[in-house]
Structure 1
């Protein structure tokens, strides 16, 4: 899945707190660190441009602007995969603290727990400690190819090769709020909600840091195309909005769980659970 790169403005993905020194030097450090932590969105070392009250960098490869407003000390993003509405994230000192924490916590080579190279169009990921926040920023986006919104990166050795950790992690989803709009069938909302809540996945050779990870989701999907051709009469767009969280815990053996699917993230082998309860390898 490729990012939808369009030359629109954007607003950063990060937040927390620290003492603010000189705004100009902090802004430069923030943009430098953002390039290290989130190279997917800021893949090149671009010069800082100034157009008062803005200091910003433009990343042509992703059509993304990363900017700091010197009047309100706010960090903003515009363009690329984040849509056409400017998104305020937080103050410079808050964002800088989060970035510094990511760099110092595991070295500058640390990669995000979710593989953002397969980031679905319109999805925004942010990190805080052992929590991943995934949102569509209030927009209803097309249904992605995969229902797994966080493809986990494996641990790697010094040469960058995947490492077998022998850690098995089961992820279960808890749906706090579910809304279906544009179509009405008695009981459909409850059945869809139950389907999503029962969608458990299990990872073989999960990275150590993935233990007890929580993924929070606030996602709106446009399922109109998915339903077209199903025989259901549609009078307009059909959307589903859900808020929930996926909690990951260590298990002894993925194949001894009630997971819907199992993925070995080192070998890329995938199994799905059949109606009989048996797992069938599909690749």
Structure 2
């Protein structure tokens, strides 16, 4: 019985870890344009240096890079991607927007945004951006959950390391709007699934970032994610069934939510659960209403 209770506690802890994964958008021309231009910035920084905002002058969605004098964008009338300036003396069509989006996705191209480092995210997770709104999705599929013991893969929106202090502090909050936990149920009539409530509560946490990236000050992140967590919980499930709890693999957790942030004067005076410094790498966790430093 003690071993079963231990495994039950392990199961709950594992589910909470999965919930703490920070989710960080759309299937239209604007978001596809941002995906392509993000990829160009990451792949050809000599031509498209830095992260620039997308501008709109009908019929164009474009970015301008003053360092190189290059314009890159999409003509929404013909849905082609064009470049102008630098090596291109006239407006030059590179390819159609759908072709480039397909090429980038199939090649594993990096379309991450400067406010969120997505380098080590698991396969099957897709990002896109439109203005200050980012969406992360598994496109209706349940993918294997990332390794919760590896912080480089268990966080889907790792705050990029800042090379200098920005002086900006951002308090962020992730709110779950809908969720479902399948494969773990209670067999007591009328009793709600306590595990789902625990996971949802663990996901709706607040984090504050010191020296945050300027892009994150007004960032809104919408998520629609499904994880297959059967393998992640294999150890905890070894002693099931337990009275009142039915486990029927596969076990999946699906959630939709919205992550948003606001600028604050001092992270240490907020109700955040955790604090990190994107410049120094320091991390604090709230314990007994006091922030305790755990890493540097």
- The interval holding the TM-score normalised by the smaller chain is 0.5 to 0.7
Superposition pairs for residues 52-131 of structure 1, below 5 Å?
75-77=101-103, 79=106, 81=108, 112-131=114-133
Determine helix, strand or coil for the equivalent of 2:184: coil
- Partner of residue 37 from structure 1, selected from 32, 38, 41: 41
1:150 is matched with 157
Pairing of 1:165-244 with structure 2 (within 5 A): 165-185=166-186, 186-197=193-204, 199-230=205-236, 231-233=239-241, 234-244=247-257
Contact 2:34–2:128, Cα closer than 8 Å, also in 1:
no
Highest Rg: 1 or 2?
Answer: 2
Instruction: Give the match's secondary structure for 1:194.
Output: helix
Instruction: State the distance in 2 between where 1:239 and 1:271 align.
Output: 31
Q: Does 1:282 align with 2:288?
A: no
- State the SS of the aligned residue for 2:212: coil
Q: 1:68 to 1:177 in 2, by over 3 A?
A: farther
Q: Per-residue deviation at 1:34?
A: 6.0
Structure 1 CA distance, aligned partners of 2:34 and 2:213?
A: 27
- 2:11 matched residue in structure 1: none
The answer to whether the Cα contact below 8 Å between 1:154 and 1:205 also exists between their aligned partners in 2 is: no
Cα distance, 1:202–1:76 mapped onto 2, change above 3 Å: same
- Once residues 182 and 243 of structure 1 are traced to their aligned partners in structure 2, the CA distance between those partners, rounded to angstroms, is 18
Structure 1 gap segments, 5+ residues each: 1-12, 18-28, 41-66, 83-98, 100-109, 156-161
User: Secondary structure, in 3 states, of the residue corresponding to 1:211?
Assistant: helix
What residue is the counterpart of 1:262 in the other structure?
Answer: 275
Contact 1:215 1:245 in 2 (8 A): yes
How far off its partner does 1:180 sit?
A: 0.6
Instruction: State the partner residue of 1:26.
Output: none
CA shift for structure 1 position 167: 0.9
Aligned positions of 1:133-148 closer than 5 A: 133-144=135-146, 145=148, 146=151, 148=155
Match of 2:47 in 1: none
Q: Distance in 2 between matches of 1:281 and 1:211?
A: 24
Tell me the secondary structure at the aligned position of residue 238 of structure 1: strand
Residue 220 of structure 1 deviates from its aligned partner by 0.5
Counterpart CA distance in 2 for 1:140 and 1:73 is: 26
**1:118-158 deviations in Å (ceiling 9; x for gaps):** 32332211111111111112221222234542112255xxx
SS of the aligned residue for 1:267 comes to coil
For 1:241 and 1:32, the matched residues in 2 are separated by: 28
Q: Distance in 2 between matches of 1:204 and 1:143?
A: 28
Q: When the two structures are superposed, what TM-score results if normalisation uses the length of structure 2?
A: 0.58
Q: 1:223 to 1:35 in 2, by over 3 A?
A: closer
